Structure 1
Amino acid sequence: MQRRGTKIVATLGPASSDPALLEQMIRAGVNCVRLNFSHGTAQDHIDRARLVREAATRAGREVAIMADLQGPKIRVGKFADGKVQLETGMKFVLDASRTEPGDINGVGLDYKELPRDVKAGDTLLLNDGLIVMTVDAVRGEQVHATVKIGGVLSNNKGINKQGGGLTAPALTAKDMEDIRTAMSFQADYVAVSFPQNASDMEMARQLCNVAGAEYRHKPGLIAKIERAEAIPNLEAICKASDGIMVARGDLAIEVGNAAVPALQKRMIKMARDLDKVVITATHMMESMITNPVPTRAEVSDVANAVLDGTDAVMLSAESATGKYPVETIRTMTAIALAAERSQVYELDSDFINQQFVRVDQAIAMAALFTAFHLNVKAIAALSQSGSTALWMSRHDSGVPIYALTPEVSAARRAALYRGVRPVVVPFDSDRENALLSAENALKSRGAVGDGDLIVLSCGEPMGKSGGTNALKVVRVGEHRG
């Protein structure tokens, strides 16, 4: 039976916080659970992280936890009646100095810098772009605008500027506190909202490393690409991160819906070329929030992301508040499997003009090449950090890759790598004993049987991170002295 290579990220929320349901979701195919720090208290996230760890243990899976930071609150304030109905042609004032609740004429701002970030003629998009306003004038703390496309505007809805240009910093005081919370339960990944450049990601890494020091934990960093300003800096942001998220919601509002599909393809390719992880997110199975089956367009959307090479596809409201979280995960699994089954592997072209500066990277590529041409059943990468398995997973060989590591944190990180199955295996300092343990671990999971060929990569001395320097092809069950 073919095993799915593409990973599934599911957002935890009211619809999915029951321990039994969460275990069902993990068994149905969830590889990473997203905790959305835009909602809930620190204790809520600590409690949910514990639920995830317990459910994953019961399911016998290594599941990553991703702490998704809120980022800057670029939002309107609250209304006296909770919402207003804006009609096309109306005048409306966005007022940074307003303290009383909003009404049909205007509203206060959570984002106080808006009057300094906009000028007459700019287009503002509110409530995920459903409401469009043109700026007429900026007078002190007030942005005077005309409604071009009306609709219902309710409390704390988001504001975007078409084409980008809002100066809000990527990391807020709340984010810094949330990083400390995330490190207290050793979140495997931290997703940074609205980074504009590599410096934003470098600052986030420093904060994570400082907050994680007492736990001896360093998370992977995911840059959420959702600002127009991030696009010219894409390569630098990618290099400063461990992965990127194609956050199609805010990005589409800023750059326009039509530009997003090509950007998505470009981002997925760039991430893979730079040996980074990539997650495709937002509205992937939106209709399944309320319906038990997806639309055909959603099926194509997920399948195309898989065919483009994304490591993971992500669910937001579908799993956080939707009526069918388990069914959505099963459906996504089926779509990914069908897309992967259709792929033709042409690994050799990946090796043309390749040059390696690191021995461990060269071993990773040699393992792929050997497995591809030798009808090998599995590749086993024995690794402290899981980096060797990550490098292998950047190329499609059609051969399952097992990341065998004694480090639980490395196994959880590897849960997000496409085509990689993480397994926690204690290593013996003797290489032959370690290789035998690896072989037995694969046999016990039904991944290989007697007579199958497997490719093993490891390092000498055993237990040294970044030390992969050996490659071995073995036939399962053969006595080795």
Structure 2
Amino acid sequence: MTPKVNRRTKIVATIGPGSESEDMIARLIAAGVNVFRLNFSHGTSEQHAEVARRIRKQSAIAGRYVGILADLQGPKIRISTFRDDAIELAAGDSFRLDLTLAEGEGDSRGVGLDYRELCSSVSRGDTLLLDDGRIRLRVDEVEASAVNCTVLIGGKLSSRKGINRLGGGLAAPALTTKDMADIDSLTEVRPDFVAVSFVSSEEDIFQTRELLQKHGMDPGIIAKIERAEVVADGDVLNGIILASLGVMVARGDLGVEVGDAQLIGIQKELIARARKMDRVVITATQMMESMIDSSMPTRAEVFDVANAVLDGTDAVMLSAETAVGKYPVEVVAAMADAALGAERQAVARTSHYRLDRQFSSPQETIAMSAIYAANHYSDVRGIACLTESGNTPLLMSRLSSGLPIFGLSSKAETLQKLCLCRGVIPLYFDASVFDHDEVDAQAIEFLKDGGYLQRGDAILLTKGTVMGRSGSTNIIKILPVQ
């Protein structure tokens, strides 16, 4: 029997009207989804709880660990509404952002908005970006309660579109009243991950974790990097990364604020920085946007996914493609193919990272030694990691390798969080039911029965002297598969 070919890069798929049925969730899991995203910008708490139940049910039927990511809406700054829902703006037109205008009073001359700090946050000459940058305004004059602008790039502008400032600076607290209410409702969802939008400091992460823990929840927190001022300040960015389980390169709002040309380098830097700090990273937004309406991706989209994989991202994310698109299963399959294609490249399977660095713990020493040994001994077909907390396989996954890392644990919460770690296959294995001397052989037999290994292979195994204790990994072995 030929061992299974395992994709290392994880796929996050957003649930929406086009993918929320049990049948579609089952098909998406079969196509390769590792984590489902529940977008709390839409839907009710009851709807999200029901979808979460469907995901848990279908992942159990499939016999796979599939994570749930609850993505909080955050303080998206939006304009108010127009009398006729939409207007047309042309370059050279005057347009006024007026805090005194009520809902439904907007027209081609101006519109209201809900951001009371606008007049203190912008200056003459600033560029304001509406509808993800499709409309551009130049600030000409700032009054006490309004900002007068000239349209630089026009087009159709409809109600409730977002507004950003080129270079960032329109900052509101990361957790809104709605977000706090949504956190209260998560007891019915029990997500494995919670994404915090428009994070501005590590304090946003600490506040979110405190609110979750009050409800007895401890999901991994993902910081969405969307603000230009955050990526411009290395100390602030490092604090956010260290406070979180990982980060999301949220290319939509971030790209609007910094500009697409700058976003290229920022994406690469964020991925590299997160991996160096032992955190996971998701690359998101418009990765296969054309497949909302097309059954095949463009070549540029395939290259976009592949480049993120080669940069070292843990996961790539689909948004509207699976939430409202016509081809949710096909887009997941296309993304999986693109990731596998990139992973076959030599640069994705080797790493010189940390060869000149001192290790900080026995766990890290074992994890780094295991990957180095596996990458340099051709008989090794994978790494079996007996883990309680999941930290050792996470550390292993920070280094590039072509080999699977089998995260073997009896703790469901550990296995669920490993769903996001690149190259890690979470598998339920209860080492406590075996005598200490039998564990190694039983782990090998378990992986062989699962089709991951075959006779004649070698497996690299890590574990702790004291089984069942978190943080005790201190043993590494190379074992033959009999």
TM-score range, shorter chain: over 0.9
Indicate yes or no: 2:151 matched with 1:116.
Answer: no
Asked if the contact 1:383/1:465 (under 8 Å) is kept, the reply is: yes
Per the alignment, residue 444 of structure 1 pairs with 449
Per the alignment, residue 267 of structure 1 pairs with 270
**Alignment partner of 1:377: what SS?**
strand
1:6-405 → structure 2 map (5 Å cutoff):
6-101=9-104, 102-211=106-215, 213=216, 217-231=217-231, 232=233, 233-344=236-347, 347=350, 349-374=352-377, 375-405=379-409
**Alignment partner of 1:40: what SS?**
coil
Asked if the contact 2:32/2:333 (under 8 Å) is kept, the reply is: yes
- Give the superposition deviation at 1:66: 0.6
2:163 maps to amino acid: I
Indicate yes or no: 2:401 matched with 1:435.
Answer: no
Asked if the contact 2:342/2:348 (under 8 Å) is kept, the reply is: no
Q: Which moved more, 1:85-94 or 1:224-233?
A: 85-94
Q: Deviations over 1:122-155 (max 9, x none)?
A: 1110000000111222222222222111111111
2:210 maps to amino acid: Q
- Give the superposition deviation at 1:405: 0.8
1:188 maps to amino acid: D
Q: Matches of 2:414 and 2:402 in 1, distance apart?
A: 23
Asked if the contact 1:28/1:330 (under 8 Å) is kept, the reply is: yes
Q: Which moved more, 1:412-421 or 1:201-210?
A: 201-210
Per the alignment, residue 454 of structure 1 pairs with 459
Number of residues of Structure 1 aligned to a counterpart in Structure 2:
473
Change beyond 3 A, Cα 1:227–1:436: same
| Structure 1 segments unaligned to the other structure (5+ residues) | none
Asked if the contact 1:431/1:460 (under 8 Å) is kept, the reply is: no
- Give the superposition deviation at 1:348: 6.6
1:456 maps to amino acid: L
Q: Deviations over 1:357-392 (max 9, x none)?
A: 211111111222222233211211110111111101
Q: Matches of 1:337 and 1:346 in 2, distance apart?
A: 12
- Give the superposition deviation at 1:352: 2.2
Asked if the contact 2:89/2:155 (under 8 Å) is kept, the reply is: yes
| Structure 2 segments unaligned to the other structure (5+ residues) | none
Asked if the contact 1:347/1:369 (under 8 Å) is kept, the reply is: no
**Alignment partner of 1:254: what SS?**
helix
Q: Deviations over 1:134-193 (max 9, x none)?
A: 122222222222211111111110000011111211111111121222344221111111
**Alignment partner of 1:363: what SS?**
helix
Change beyond 3 A, Cα 1:432–1:183: farther
Q: Which moved more, 1:180-189 or 1:150-159?
A: 180-189
Per the alignment, residue 422 of structure 1 pairs with 426
Q: Which moved more, 1:336-345 or 1:161-170?
A: 336-345
Q: Matches of 2:135 and 2:349 in 1, distance apart?
A: 46
2:191 maps to amino acid: A
Q: Deviations over 1:281-308 (max 9, x none)?
A: 1110000000111111111111111111
**Alignment partner of 1:269: what SS?**
helix
Q: Which moved more, 1:398-407 or 1:432-441?
A: 432-441
Q: Which moved more, 1:444-453 or 1:366-375?
A: 366-375
RMSD: 1.6
**Alignment partner of 2:261: what SS?**
helix
Q: Matches of 1:348 and 1:175 in 2, distance apart?
A: 40
- Give the superposition deviation at 1:74: 0.2
- Give the superposition deviation at 1:3: 1.8
Q: Deviations over 1:314-368 (max 9, x none)?
A: 1000000000010001111111111111224675733522211211111111222
Indicate yes or no: 2:470 matched with 1:465.
Answer: yes
Q: Which moved more, 1:349-358 or 1:27-36?
A: 349-358
In the superposition, the TM-score normalised over structure 1's length comes to 0.95
Change beyond 3 A, Cα 1:427–1:177: farther
Asked if the contact 1:307/1:343 (under 8 Å) is kept, the reply is: no
Per the alignment, residue 4 of structure 1 pairs with 7
Change beyond 3 A, Cα 1:346–1:11: closer
